[in-house]
Amino acid sequence: MKIIMLGAPGAGKGTQAKRIADKWQIPHISTGDIFRANIKEGTELGKEAKKYMDQGALVPDELTVKLLLDRVAKDDCKNGYVLDGFPRTIPQAEVLDKALAELGDTVDFAVNVDVPDENIINRMSGRRACVSCGATYHITYAPTKTEGICDRCGKELILREDDKPETVQKRLEVYHKQTQPLIDYYAKKEILKTVDGTKDMEEVFQDIVAILGA
């Protein structure tokens, strides 16, 4: 099964994508996580991506598309995958469709996690991410057992640079301009499924399971 997660920054795409990946035993592929791992390792790609990410802008398609196509060509993607943060522009969606069509394949579902802008700033300012393993939490909605410490690996948690309110505002603007048109794109292909992302995390997941077919 090939699934795309759509939604504003902080809508809960990553939270739900991880759970989908666990349940269906398919890889969770987050372009944001791939860029952050490259930044941490100090690669050339990471240095270039950081310039855009810190400003809340999109990383150019030239850097993003090849990286994603290489990733989905790997063996562990044979039974499908859940994409989180890709595609983010119509050209990215078209490239993915073309690459899949060449293999006689298509995307099965585009799941849109719908959360209004007014809820987003609060969500993002409360998110904490692990500097080491990348696990994410929320100080109110998904707290750790010990404040500031990752439950999974025991390392320190941080507020992501791009989760500061002024950058979140910019990311929302970019989302509405460049990414939201994908909702119509996938609606026209009749694979768009929208869930109410303002519900509690477990309820959102159950709504997604009902759509994907348990």
Active-site annotation holds for 13: yes
From the CB of 4, what's the least distance to ligand AP5, in Å? 11
Active-site annotation holds for 128: no
Q: Which residue has the tokens 């990311």?
A: 171
From the CB of 167, what's the least distance to ligand AP5, in Å? 9
Out of 2, 13, 36, 123, pick the active-site residue.
13
Question: Residue 204: which residues within 8 A CB-CB, separation 6 or more?
Answer: 12, 16, 113, 195, 196, 197
Active-site annotation holds for 160: yes
Minimum CB distance to ligand AP5 smaller for 4 or for 26: 4
Taking the alpha carbons of 59, 37, 117, 122 in that order, is the dihedral positive or negative? negative
Tell me phi and psi for residue 135, to 5 degrees: -60, 145
Minimum CB distance to ligand AP5 smaller for 26 or for 112: 112
Residues at the site binding ligand AP5, with contacts judged by CB under 6 A? 7, 9-15, 30-32, 35, 52-53, 56-59, 64, 85-86, 88, 92, 123, 126-127, 136-138, 141-142, 162, 171, 197, 200-201, 204
Out of 160, 164, 193, 199, pick the active-site residue.
160
From the CB of 106, what's the least distance to ligand AP5, in Å? 19
- HSE of 90 in the Cβ direction (CA atoms, 13 Å)? 9
CA distances from 22 to 19, 27, 101, 143, 148 (A): 5, 8, 27, 21, 25
From the CB of 181, what's the least distance to ligand AP5, in Å? 14
Minimum CB distance to ligand AP5 smaller for 190 or for 209: 209
Minimum CB distance to ligand AP5 smaller for 57 or for 212: 57
Active-site annotation holds for 171: yes
Active-site annotation holds for 74: no
Burial 133-162 (b: 16+ CB within 10 A, else e): ebbbbbeeeeebeeeeebeeeeeebeebeb
First vs last Cα of the chain: how many Å apart?
A: 12
Out of 19, 36, 50, 127, pick the active-site residue.
127
From the CB of 59, what's the least distance to ligand AP5, in Å? 4
Minimum CB distance to ligand AP5 smaller for 2 or for 127: 127
Tell me phi and psi for residue 127, to 5 degrees: -75, 140
Out of 2, 88, 123, 128, pick the active-site residue.
88
CA distances from 15 to 9, 47, 136, 205 (A): 12, 26, 8, 9
Residues tagged active-site: 13, 88, 127, 160, 171
